[in-house]
Amino acid sequence: MRSICPRPGGCGFRWTKDLPGVTKGGPAGRITGARLVKQAGAWHIVFRTERQVPAPVRHSGPQVGIDRGINLALALSDGTPREHGPWLTCGEKEHLRRLEKKSARQRAARTPGRPTSKRLTRTYDQIAKARATAKRRAVDWQHKTTTELAGTFGVVVVEDLKITNMGRSATGTVERPGRNVRQKAGLNRAISGEAWGRTVTLLEYKTRDRGGLVVKVPAPGTSQTCHRCGHRDPASRDGTRFSCADPRCGWTGHADTNAAINIRNAAGTVVSGRGDLGAARSAKRQPPRAA
Tell me the helices (H) and strands (E) count for the chain, helix number first.
Answer: 7, 12
pLDDT of 283 over the 60 cut: no
- What are the respective helix, strand and coil percentages of the chain, to the nearest 5? 40, 20, 40
Maximum average pLDDT range among 92-106, 155-169, 210-224: 92-106
Q: What is the mean pLDDT of residues 88-105?
A: 95
Maximum average pLDDT range among 42-51, 92-101, 216-225, 278-287: 92-101
pLDDT of 86 over the 80 cut: yes
The confidence score (pLDDT) of residue 36 equals: 85
pLDDT of 140 over the 80 cut: yes
The confidence score (pLDDT) of residue 124 equals: 93
Q: Which helix (H) or strand (E) is 169 found in, with range?
A: none
Please name which of 2, 101, 88 lies closest in space to residue 43, comparing C-alpha atoms: 2
pLDDT of 210 over the 80 cut: yes
Rounded to whole angstroms, how far apart are CA atoms 43 and 1? 8
Average model confidence (pLDDT) across the chain:
81
pLDDT of 228 over the 70 cut: yes
pLDDT of 217 over the 60 cut: yes
Rounded to whole angstroms, how far apart are CA atoms 172 and 178? 5
Contact 137, 84 (CB under 8 A): no
Q: Choosing from 194, 204, 256, 276, which is the catalytic residue?
A: 256
Contact 203, 149 (CB under 8 A): yes
Q: Choosing from 159, 194, 204, 276, which is the catalytic residue?
A: 159
Note the pLDDT tens digit of each residue in 7-16: 566 777 787 7
Rounded to whole angstroms, how far apart are CA atoms 142 and 196? 10
In this structure, how many other beta carbons lie within 10 angstroms of the beta carbon of residue 114?
A: 7
256 counts as catalytic: yes
Please name which of 290, 249, 138, 256 lies closest in space to residue 202, comparing C-alpha atoms: 138
Q: Provide the residue ranges of all domains of the chain, joining segments of one domain with +.
A: 1-54, 59-83+140-285
Rounded to whole angstroms, how far apart are CA atoms 103 and 261? 46
The pTM of the full predicted model, rounded to 2 decimals, is: 0.78
Q: What is the mean pLDDT of residues 96-121?
A: 91
The confidence score (pLDDT) of residue 190 equals: 73
160 counts as catalytic: no
Looking only at the bridges linking them, the beta strands covering 74-76 and 63-68 are antiparallel
**More confidently predicted of 238 and 90:** 90
Rounded to whole angstroms, how far apart are CA atoms 48 and 54? 19
Using a CB cutoff of 8 Å and minimum separation of 24, what contacts does 179-188 make? 187/70
159 counts as catalytic: yes
Q: Choosing from 50, 67, 125, 140, which is the catalytic residue?
A: 67
CA dihedral of residues 121, 103, 167, 156 (deg, nearest 10): 60
Rounded to whole angstroms, how far apart are CA atoms 179 and 123? 33
**Which runs of consecutive H residues, i.e. helices, occur in the chain?**
90-109, 118-152, 163-166, 181-194, 196-209, 255-265, 277-285
